[in-house]
Amino acid sequence: MTAEPLARLVQIAGAPGSGKSLLITALTEAFRARGIRIASAERRPDGVTAFVLSNGGRATLESEQPLNRLPQILRSLDPSARLLFAEGYAASADGILVPTVEVLMWGVGPATPAAALVATVDGAALLREFQR
């Protein structure tokens, strides 16, 4: 029996209130509609790491977890998840570069290192789209 592969990790970055959670929700719905099992993890200001699992369940770890450990932790919580969105980490948290989508607001350019940045999203346009 082989172990399930680790979920691919994609970081969603941006300023507070820029629409990161909204983007994660929209992407999760789009990928799930295509049969891809998605989970998300958020490092909250209170030092808690909160996971939303691919089946809609939730798990909370009462400690901050480093970004590079999230896929291993997720495998024990939700082995069927194939993609993991992470929110609440610095652009190159823990000294590693993770593929990152950055939500931009107020005409400010990306803070993510170029080597990690895979896409940017206009936060104002995203918010307008979902307020319709």
Q: What is the CATH number of the domain that holds 19?
A: 3.40.50.300
pLDDT digits (tens, 9 = 90+) for 97-129: 889 999 998 778 898 889 889 999 998 888 888
Within a domain: 3: no
Q: Which pLDDT score is estimated for 107?
A: 78
Residue 92 in any domain: the answer is yes
Instruction: Tell me if 87 is assigned to some domain.
Output: yes
Q: Which pLDDT band, with edges at 50, 70 and 90, does 89 fall under?
A: confident
Amino acid at 86: A
Give the span between the Cα atoms of 16 and 103, in whole angstroms: 10
pLDDT at residue 91 in the model: 59
pLDDT confidence of residue 57: 94
42: pLDDT strictly greater than 90: yes
**In the prediction, which pLDDT does 94 show?**
62
CA-to-CA distance for 72 and 76, rounded, in angstroms?
7
